[in-house]
Amino acid sequence: MDAYETIIRHHVDRLVAGDAAGATEGLADDFVQDWPQSGERLHGRQACFMVYSNYPGGPPAATIRRILGEGDVRVAELDLRYGDTLAFGVSVFEFRDGRIAHETDWFGEPFPAPTWRSEWVEVIG
């Protein structure tokens, strides 16, 4: 596990634990977080801390499937549980000076595989 993966795992673990201060420790002061699906952007570690601190019902449970990348970029694939609802997440982390400078997150709920392509695919989940 490299230093960037350690920072990402700490970030996710602290967020899931409801520890907003711990979840924002590895963020640059001028951190930017994007959520393209809702068209939102957070500016700064403090804004991120406030969102994490005020998450209705607490943050989702998250399990990191894997982290890939090289240089200053890592991509994490996650399973997210919002109560009884499962969603899959992909987060792109960009680092600068050993801190997360930019994070972009996408979320999606699973859906049944269409039967029309069943002869060419393997169902994995």
pLDDT tens, residue by residue, 10-57: 999 999 999 999 999 999 999 999 999 999 999 999 999 999 999 888
pLDDT tens, residue by residue, 65-85: 999 999 999 999 999 999 999
Q: Which residues pair with 35 in a beta bridge?
A: 40
- Ranges of each domain in the chain: 3-110
What's the CATH number for 3-110? Answer: 3.10.450.50
| pLDDT above 70 coverage of the chain, percent | 99
3-state secondary structure 72-106: CEEEEEEEEEECCEEEEEEEEEEEECCEEEEEEEE
Q: Is the dihedral of CA 118, 62, 74, 52 positive or negative?
A: positive
